[in-house]
Structure 1
Amino acid sequence: MDRRLREDGLTTQQAALGSTHQNVAQIVAALVRKDLLEILPDPADKRRKLLAATSTGAAYWQRRDESDFAAVADWFGDLSPRELETFCALANKVLKRLDEHSE
């Protein structure tokens, strides 16, 4: 599968996610710059990073109502559980790379 997708410059993970590694990195970086997310080390696995809402991010979500939450859930509605796992795996790779650059 990767071989066929590679002709278009995609991997299976990128195709499943519908986004490239670089796009995910840019989204994470933008949310960090806006003080909505922070990147934390994973105490269980030093190779991984975790995303956590900042107090600003938490306050933002506390001001949301049910229709807002439904809209966000809808953004991910077309992803299967496996695709969501792929998304998380790709986000973790991005975080690892960001961490390497910050050292």
Structure 2
Amino acid sequence: MKNKNQLQNNIFSYIFKLSNTLQVYLDKTLVEDDLTSKQLFLMIVIDSFGTANPTFKEAADRAGNSYQNIKQIALKLEKKDYVKIIRDPKDRRAKRLILTDKARAYWKNRDLSDIEEMNILFKRFDQQELEQFFNYMERLFNGIIKLSTKMEG
């Protein structure tokens, strides 16, 4: 049986491996749509705000990314007509991100196939295991935030 340090190292390594494998898979499947996994994720983040169109900073915070990275991805999405970037009417310095009709149509067409893929991905987990897994991921994420805050402060 592995000791705690070995398990922590293996989990840490697996997180990177999962992230890289998922990004490669998504980039391959999205190539026909002329999108990348990072662009897809930004659209998911923007959509998560509902009708409150996020600023670059708000989207960056929710995505766990930098303002500059979000801006760069958003500009590419704007060129592809998936995102519209507008000035905030109350704060002219802030820019807001809005999903276009093209983006909404794209998601509507993807919904069923995405659900099928998620079901395949998680079919080995029952409801209780999914809830535990989510709780573990959330705790790990909060630990990362704590480390990040400690580093900044």
Task: Please report the TM-score for the alignment, with normalisation by the length of structure 1.
Answer: 0.43
Based on CA coordinates, which of the two structures has the bigger radius of gyration?
2
Task: Please report the TM-score for the alignment, with normalisation by the length of structure 2.
Answer: 0.31
